[in-house]
Structure formats: C-alpha cells, structure tokens
C-alpha cells in the first residue's frame, strides 16, 4: 500500500513538471529553433503608462491635445 502511494506521489510530481503542454513547447522550440525572447520591463511599463507613442501622438502631446479624444472625433492634432 505504501509503495503504491509512493509511486502515485512520484508520478504526480513528474506530471506537474512535465505536462503535455511543456513537452509540446519544448518540442516546438527544438524543431523550429525558437529562442526565448527577453522582455524589457521598462519598455512595457513605459508603453502602459503613456500608450503607443507614434509621431501623431507625440505631436498631440506637444500641443497639449488629447490624442484619443481627437482620434475618436476625427480631428487631427497637427
């Protein structure tokens, strides 16, 4: 009985660390030679804080206009 319980616990630990999704992900990484991309947290925070800063949005910010409001209404910031 204890050996069965031990086998069950060992298989549970193995299953949680090597689920089918993890195995598929590793297979695809090897097959297609994919590399993990490193994300820059500072850039993500900057994007979340200010939004996408395209040229027209930068012009709106320089003029003190609200880009989203102007974009929804159809006015240009320039």
pLDDT digits (tens, 9 = 90+) for 20-65: 777 777 777 788 887 766 666 665 666 566 665 565 556 666 555 5
Query: By the 8 A CB rule, do 6 and 12 touch?
Result: no
Query: By the 8 A CB rule, do 55 and 76 touch?
Result: no
* Predicted TM-score (pTM) of this structure: 0.27
pLDDT digits (tens, 9 = 90+) for 10-27: 676 656 566 677 777 777
43: left (phi over 0), alpha (psi -120 to 50) or beta: alpha
Domain-wise residue ranges, the chain: 2-31, 41-73
d(CA 25, CA 30): 9
């Amino acid at each position: 009985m204890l050996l069965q319980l031990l086998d069950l616990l060992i298989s549970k630990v193995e299953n949680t660390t090597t689920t089918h999704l993890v195995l598929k992900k590793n297979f695809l990484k090897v097959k297609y030679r994919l590399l993990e991309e490193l994300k820059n947290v500072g850039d993500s925070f900057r994007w979340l804080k200010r939004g996408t800063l395209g040229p027209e949005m930068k012009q709106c910010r320089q003029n003190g206009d609200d880009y989203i409001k102007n974009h929804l209404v159809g006015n240009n910031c320039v």
